[in-house]
A and B are shown apart, each in its own frame.
Chain A
Amino acid sequence: MSAIDQPIAEPSVERSPSPLGDLYRKSKASEFGLAPEQFAATLDEIASKCGVATSLKQKQEFCSRLFVEDLVLARMCAAGNERAWEVFMLRFREKLYDVARQITREESAGRELADSVYADLYGTRTREGERVCKLNSYSGRGSLEGWLRTVLAQEYVNRYRRQRRLVSLDEESEEGTQHAAPIAEVAAPLDWRLETATDDALRSLPAEDRFVLASYFLDQRTLAQIARALSVHESTISRKIEKLTKELRKQILKNLMRQGMSRRQGEEAMSADVRDVGVNIRASLTQDTVVAAFSEKGAKAGEGES
């Protein structure tokens, strides 16, 4: 029997004596046998790790924004709770493979990526006799599904870079890959004044604007992708890019004139062919090494928490 088409009514929520009690109920920690004290200790640990909550009120506010249900699930999985793993598998196993396929755009590579991350999540590796479980590093600041997506994406980027480093020239020849012409590490340098003027203009931009410019100009992301990342509509990004380009051009010109150029000289310098703008490959490689360290960082974090 059932009642259908009933008016929507919110279930009555019993008033809790404390915000922590509310969170505890919301997290369903009791279903996995996590005691309130352990739950509170977990929240304390996350709040102090993030360093954003200094007063009690701030801490409460911070904790109220956490995805506590996901957090408890992840922590209980990391602790080896079977019931938690059942729920995790039911909720996320298929999604994990779907997302991996979406990232790699290939069935077998996607499965391989998901399996690898899944092994990390399960904690097949041990360090100093202790199981290292990646789920321990989840702090509940975003959803668990979003976190899994990011972990997959990060793993994919790391693998891609590792593979690129390991593939030998012989292998590339066998695969028919043409060797790229060596890129001059320092290409024809620009007028230093133009470089300085551009750097100054970029530095003066707000962080979000720099992110938009880098995504659009450097990464060649679409307006829709940038808009999604910033949670705004793509028309907003479209307008922003148009405005930013105009203002940046104006600011660079202004900076050039401040350095003693006439307006005409400044405009000429800006319109000069900058085909050989130096792309600092060393800087790129430096990023590679930091990313490798970054992936280790997560493991270390997990290690520290287990």
Chain B
Amino acid sequence: VKERVNPAMDGFKKLVSGRLWQQAVGQHPDVDLLTAFAENALLDSERVQLLQHLGACKDCREVLYLAAPASAAVQTVLSFPPKRHWVVFRWGTLAVSVVIVGAAVVAKYPVFRAHTQSPAAMTAPMSNYINMSEEKVPTEVEKMRDARSAAQPAATPAGKERPQAKHMTARPRARMEFDDSDQIRLSTGALAQQNKKSPREDFAIAGRNIAELPVIVADTRPSSPPAASKEEAKDKNDFANLDIVGDESRAKGNLGGRILDPSGAAITNAKVTASGPTGAKTATSDREGKFAFDALTPGQYSIKAEASGFKSSEIRQVAVLDKKTSTIGVRLEPGTAAETVEVSGAAVSTNEIAAAPAVDAMSGYVVAQKQVVEGGLQKVATNSQQRAKTAAMLQWTLSPTGEVQRSLDLGKTWQKVSVANGTVFQALFAIGAEIWVGGKAGALYRSLDSGQTWSRVLASTADRKLTSDITRIEFADQDNGSVSTANGEVWSTSDGGHNWRRK
């Protein structure tokens, strides 16, 4: 029972709290009404009336909250998917269309330019290609190279015409070298280092030997297997030692996943930021809560998910592997965006399970959430291991109205489990994935798969059947157990419920 507004609350909260405190309190409702409210059994009109009182009466709220079961077993937890308005869909679709068209135009632009240029233009100024690169070559070097190109255009044998660039699909990784015999060579040695060189370093090298100049070559290969591309390039261009590794869709990894709330509902428009070796990228979750990052440089990433009304979640050490698709499930807890939940060691699955739902609300996710990952990459547990771990994390309870409920999040939220319609259960016992529930008129059910399927157990001896209300179920192991009834009978089994004895 608190008597004073918490000083830590901000001004607005204090203002509202202060005014709420001073509301008039009318006649208190009786215990029956409070109980029926807590169990969602009131008529709508009564509910509104009671809520009006509860909004103003601290004491009744206190009683209501104190009376709530610790295991939160009273209520069937309902999950409401966020409302989506068609207006939003229409605008969203329009925005997506614009982005797609824009992306297509941008991607195709170099192709148009390449096709509209004459062969002469393609062969003469190498700076055309240079301009397409992210790495800028100093102007002086460009001039020197242009001068060299201009001095020797006619001398170029027809058969050794430079290849026409079709389009650039990736950042160039190869180097074109010139020598005195006008042979052009492409080399790939120490590509990474060369690509990281600053223009100043390139210039210094160029000052000594122009053959060292980094010349950008567009990747002309289609998205066919690398070997075929290599052969094709060799046949067409007669380039020796061609070993271009510029196709980033193969050289890099992908990362995707889903953002869900604790009930398993998808969170739309969550902002996901992947921070890794080459900086940060952002993506937004779609209507199914899915997000994807393509062509990430392999390495360790930190994934941050933010959504309105939820605590931010930051997952560190998410491994993105070369030519693999890593999948990650992020479950956001309700709260304010200013609060951040950090998770070190990511629940990452690689291609093997990416085809299956990456984040399964029922079986996969909870297990994945608890697995500790060394170095960011985890081995995918087998189905049986997952089932065992899931069973270990499940919690079971009965609501006061006799419904079976289970929790996947250590008692935070509870879901109703349908066993037998209309049966009121009064006793429950769980041993691993095996669950027993008993209730009115000898109703006894068992599940061997953590509540996915249930079968009825009819306990009987030669002369009598169990028909009394079951009030207690206890098992020492999977075979030996007993069932107590309201009329004082105790039925026991030593073979997992196949045969019974009555005491």
A interface residues (Cβ-Cβ under 8 A, vs B):
1-11, 52, 65, 87, 90-91, 99, 102-103, 137-143, 145-147, 149-154, 156-157, 160-161, 183, 190, 194-195, 198-199, 202, 207-208, 210-211, 213-215, 217-221, 223-225, 227-229, 231-239, 242, 245, 248-249, 270-275, 277-281, 283-284, 286-288, 290-291, 294, 297-298, 301
Contact = CB atoms under 8 A, between A and B. Distances in A.
Contact of A242 (B58, B59, B65, B308): B308
Given A10-B422, A290-B28, A235 B262 contact: yes
Interface stretch (B38-46, B88-96, B185-193, B273-281): B38-46
A222 to B, nearest CB: 10
Interface in B390-428: 400-401, 412-413, 419-422, 426
List of 8 A-B pairs having minimum Cβ-Cβ separation, nearest first: A142-B35, A277-B18, A238-B334, A210-B55, A153-B66, A207-B51, A153-B67, A141-B36
A233 B80 contact: yes
Nearest to A242: B309
B262 A233 contact: yes
B5 A6 contact: no
A2 B56 contact: no
Contacts of A242: 308-309, 336
Contact of B70 (A1, A102, A238): A102
B400 A143 contact: yes
A195 to B, nearest CB: 7
A275 B7 contact: yes
A157 B31 contact: no
A141 B77 CA distance: 21
Interface in B1-36: 1-7, 9, 11-23, 25, 28, 30-36
Contacts of A237: 334
Interface of B: 1-7, 9, 11-23, 25, 28, 30-43, 45-46, 48-49, 51-52, 54-59, 61-70, 72, 74-80, 82, 261-263, 265, 308-310, 334-336, 400-401, 412-413, 419-422, 426, 441, 445-446, 454-462, 471, 486, 488, 497-500
Given A146-B39, A214-B61, A287-B25, A8 B454 contact: yes
B30 A219 contact: no
Nearest to A243: B309
Given A214-B56, A235-B263, A238-B335, A274 B400 contact: no
Given A1-B461, A211-B55, A249-B12, A236 B80 contact: yes
Contacts of B336: 242
Given A141-B32, A228-B68, A277 B5 contact: yes
A280 B3 CA distance: 10
B77 A219 contact: no
Nearest to A13: B422
Contacts of A183: 4
A271 B309 CA distance: 22
Contacts of A219: 2, 58, 61-62, 65
Contact of A157 (B1, B41, B74, B400): B1
B51 A208 contact: yes
Nearest to B75: A231
B457 A284 contact: no
Contacts of A273: 11
A147 B31 contact: yes
Contacts of A211: 51, 54-55, 61
A239 B1 contact: no
25 contacts: A6-B458, A65-B41, A90-B471, A90-B486, A143-B35, A146-B67, A146-B400, A149-B35, A150-B63, A153-B67, A156-B66, A157-B62, A211-B51, A219-B2, A220-B6, A223-B334, A233-B262, A239-B308, A274-B11, A274-B18, A279-B3, A279-B4, A280-B21, A290-B28, A294-B28
A283 B310 contact: no
A1 B460 contact: yes
Contacts of A91: 426, 471, 486
